[in-house]
Amino acid sequence: MDLMKLTNMKESENKKSTWALGISIVAILLCLLIFVLWAFEVMPHSVVTVDSFIGACVALLGVIVTLAVGWQIYNAVEVKAMIKDYANKQEEINTLQNQLKDELKRLKIETEYATHHSLHLHAVTMALNCGFEQKYSEACYHCLEALAECAQMKEPMNAIKIIEKLDYFLGKMKKETKLSKSSQLEIKAMNKIIRASEHFRGFEDKYEDVIAKYLKKVGLEFD
């Protein structure tokens, strides 16, 4: 829309410039015509004298100069209005861009929360399934995974219940379980995520008791 407006304005400017040029040329031709008529005595000198010819030329030049100056003033005012209009448009564009950035940021956060929610539910399902199959070591791992995803959600869910379930599965483990290097690294990473959460204070005491039992059971120490 703005591009069409700008194009129309340019076409209008070109038409106005053409008209101004045409008027100037006509005025000059009239001056030359009067000069020719006077030089070849087509008209009596009593009608067109030197003084009257010069006066006519000066008058025409005065009119041309007046029109030219007025035209420039008009253009200056119009350009100033255009600049102000474009400045307002730019301000509106900047406002819309900021609103768009805020909305994209909000959508990104909401998407991350939704992802953590889905992963949390998946980990809870895996923990319950492993518990049903009496794979208690894996069930404990998935409980920690579910708690880590829960800690990254906007509103934590099931945190206390997950810790209680982790404690329950620990009680079912008959002996110490050795973890692979990759599992140890993953558990350490999940522990850091849980402790860094803004929701950690809400379940800190219960978590500290259960995680101490878990570390002793799997023979693992945190740095």
19 vs 186, more confident: 186
148 vs 7, more confident: 148
Tell me the C-alpha distance between 195 and 113, whole Å: 18
Tell me the C-alpha distance between 206 and 194, whole Å: 13
pLDDT of residue 51: 67
Q: How confident is the model at residue 144 (pLDDT cuts 50, 70, 90)?
A: very high
pTM of the predicted model as reported, rounded to 2 decimal places: 0.56
Could you report how far apart the first and last alpha carbons of the chain are, in Å? 62
Give residues with Cβ within 8 angstroms of 145, minimum separation 6. 119, 123, 126, 127, 190
Q: Is 20 exposed, middle or buried (0-12, 13-18, 19+ CB in 10 A)?
A: middle
Q: Rounded to the nearest 5°, which phi and psi values hold at 46? A: -65, -25
150 has pLDDT over 60: yes
83 has pLDDT over 60: yes
Q: For 54-83, what is the mean pLDDT?
A: 75
69-78, 144-153, 202-211: segment of lowest average pLDDT? 69-78
Tens digit of each residue's pLDDT (9 = 90 or more) over 152-185: 888 878 889 999 999 999 888 877 677 788 888 8
Tell me the C-alpha distance between 134 and 172, whole Å: 8
CB atoms within 10 A of CB 165: 22
Compute and round to an integer the Cα radius of gyration of the chain: 44
CA max distance for the chain: 135
